[in-house]
Amino acid sequence: MKVLVATSKPFAKVAVDGIREVIEGAGFELALLEKYTEKSALLAAVADADAIIIRSDIIDDEVFNAAKQLKIVVRAGAGYDNVDLTSATAHGVCVMNTPGQNANAVAELVFGLMVYAVRNFYNGTSGIELMGKKLGIHAFGNVGRNVARIAKGFGMDVYAYDAYCPKEVIEAAGVHAVDSVEEMYRTCQFISLHLPATDETKKSIGRTLVSLMPKGAVLVNSARKEIINEDELIQLMQERDDMKFVSDIAPAASDKFAELFADRFFATPKKMGAQTAEANINAGIAAAKQIVGFINEGCTKFMVNR
């Protein structure tokens, strides 16, 4: 049984060691394809793999066609928009994610980005503090809940909206549950985005919502760039010079944002949210254990293409 770790953005070594222990401990073979830059390398590596552990690596129809023995793909992380689920199902391959395993890492980075923004990107000028400010969490999943926990430590006033999460669950976490997404954007100077990229959410964060934000608005995107309507946000930021945008992933129009809003925009060149040793260990080892559980016991917990 061959398990391939295919990560163009590699895990910390300590995480790979942990994955190896689980995989080899189960009597399986581990193969590594790290830091690859060409798709051809991935296509060659998957040819004899029974299972693959990936991160944001694109697993499309071509990859499934090349992976003749493949039984399972585990995305070590939350978002699985990089995997063609229709093709996976057509090829009889089980796809899983590892929800929650890297959530704290992403949530901590949200505060790194927010502090960086409100301290004027450390340019030496006087900024503002987070304490007492209103933070709106858009989607209250694993990352959103961790953001809420940390925000309370900063003394922020925390709000959340999630179309799929009952208000009682949000309130039980000590967070204000709003009646509508518009109300949250109208109320909160800070908005942190935690939506997955789906047909429903792509380009959903644009003028209609962001223009409602109060003066001094700071929009933080640690989710996916696809959820932003970039043209509308650029237009809005041109009209509103009080507004800042910080993103853990360069938007498609990153150069334009940087050129127009040099002192109001920042994006990480590579997605950094889950890039901690702890998150790599948690997500990587969970992925390895899920593969062993699936192969040995047929366990399909966390399967996303049912």
Judged by the rule CB under 6 A, the positions of this chain that interact with ligand 3PG are 9, 55-56, 77-79, 102, 271, 273-274
Give me the least distance between CB of 297 and ligand 3PG, in Å please. 25
CB nearer to ligand 3PG: give 144 or 177.
144
Count CB atoms within 10 A of the CB of residue 296.
Answer: 12
Q: DSSP letters along 89-103, please?
A: HHTT-EEEE-TTTTH
Give me the least distance between CB of 107 and ligand 3PG, in Å please. 11
Give me the least distance between CB of 183 and ligand 3PG, in Å please. 27
Give me the least distance between CB of 282 and ligand 3PG, in Å please. 11
Give helix 103-118 / helix 277-297 axis angle, nearest 10°: 150
Residue nearest to ligand 3PG (CB): 77
> Distance of CA 94 to CAs 31, 50, 64, 171, 233, Å?
19, 11, 11, 35, 37
CB nearer to ligand 3PG: give 178 or 223.
223
Count CB atoms within 10 A of the CB of residue 36.
Answer: 16
Residue 64 token pair: 């499934």
CB nearer to ligand 3PG: give 102 or 192.
102
- Terminal CA-to-CA distance of the chain, rounded, Å? 23
Give me the least distance between CB of 95 and ligand 3PG, in Å please. 14
Give me the least distance between CB of 227 and ligand 3PG, in Å please. 12
CB nearer to ligand 3PG: give 203 or 270.
270
Count CB atoms within 10 A of the CB of residue 6.
Answer: 22
CB nearer to ligand 3PG: give 56 or 187.
56
CB nearer to ligand 3PG: give 54 or 177.
54
How far is residue 175's CA from residue 173's CA, in Å, rounded to a whole number?
A: 6
